[in-house]
Amino acid sequence: MKNLIIIFVLLYLTGCASVPVNYGKPAQKSKIGIVLLVDENPTHAHVGSTIFQNEVSDEVSTTDFHKKFEEKINTPLLNAGYLVKTITPSSKLMKDRDSLFSYMSSNVNFKDKIKIELNELAKKSDVDFMILVYPTPGPAWVNSTAYIQGYGLYTRCFFGSCRAHALDYIGARIFDVKNNSSLKPMDSKFFSQQAMPNIVVPNNIRDIKSTQIDEAGDLALEKFIKLLNKMLIKSEFI
């Protein structure tokens, strides 16, 4: 648990710590690869009154959200004149998706081993930049010992009082292949999930419907795209 708290603090400070400067607006027709490290289907994360009631399920929804992510991410980039392709992540990247960054200095950057993997992937795919979309593990609420991550539906029950929210613990970062550096991060934050009062949390949490998880996934994706576009503007991509 101590390690989880440390991870949370470091992730929270990501937006505050300095990062490598951007290198100016990319040339038109620059080649950009989209790497999705988030799950293909939205998740349902439930936090109960006790730790024994906590549950995470990624098997209820079978909707392919990767296609939705790709369409939403690609549109502004294509409109700006870039060449965009989806890149399948390597097994190493998927394995390390929860620990991509080094926090050993004020510059929050990809770990060296991650950079090596990204450069190999970029060379194979022939791209100039890569946009990684990844889950960001964090506490469900301030001082919570329950950790959640990814996107989809988040429900919380406390002795009979239940609430539902859109789970949006996901982030994105641009990797500049030529300069072997990550650019400015997305301003993602914890504890800001959108409430979904229309969803009545059932007594048996496994009775949650896939349509409800998908609805929450769409809300999470909408919020993510807004933050992503701000990052793209900040990095002079659009």
Kindly give, in sequence order, each residue whose CB lies less than 8 Å from that of residue 103, ignoring residues fewer than 6 positions away.
Answer: 10, 13, 14, 17
Lowest mean pLDDT among 1-15, 37-51, 93-107: 1-15
The answer to whether residue 12 scores a pLDDT higher than 50 is: no
Tens of pLDDT, residue by residue over 80-101, are 999 999 999 999 999 999 999 9
69 and 86 Cβ atoms separated by less than 8 Å: no
Mean pLDDT computed over 61-75: 97
pLDDT at 219 over 50: yes
Residue 141 · residue 155 · CB < 8 Å: no
pLDDT of residue 44: 96
Amino acid making up residue 149:
Q
pLDDT of 55: 85
Average pLDDT, the chain: 89
Question: What average pLDDT does this structure show over 104-122?
Answer: 88
> What is the spatial distance between Cα 45 and Cα 57, in angstroms, rounded to a whole number?
6
pLDDT one-digit tens code per residue, 142-158: 888 888 999 999 999 98
Of 3-12, 54-63, 126-135, minimum mean pLDDT range: 3-12
Question: Is the torsion defined by CA of 188, 191, 196, 200 positive or negative?
Answer: positive
**Residue 6 in this model has a pLDDT that exceeds 80:** no
The pLDDT, as a whole number, for residue 20 is 52
pTM of the predicted model as reported, rounded to 2 decimal places: 0.86
Q: Identify the residue whose tokens are 């007594």.
A: 203
Residue 199: pLDDT band (50, 70, 90) is very high
Q: What digits encode the pLDDT tens for the residues 176-198?
A: 999 999 998 888 778 888 999 99
Kindly state the average pLDDT of the residues 129-135: 98
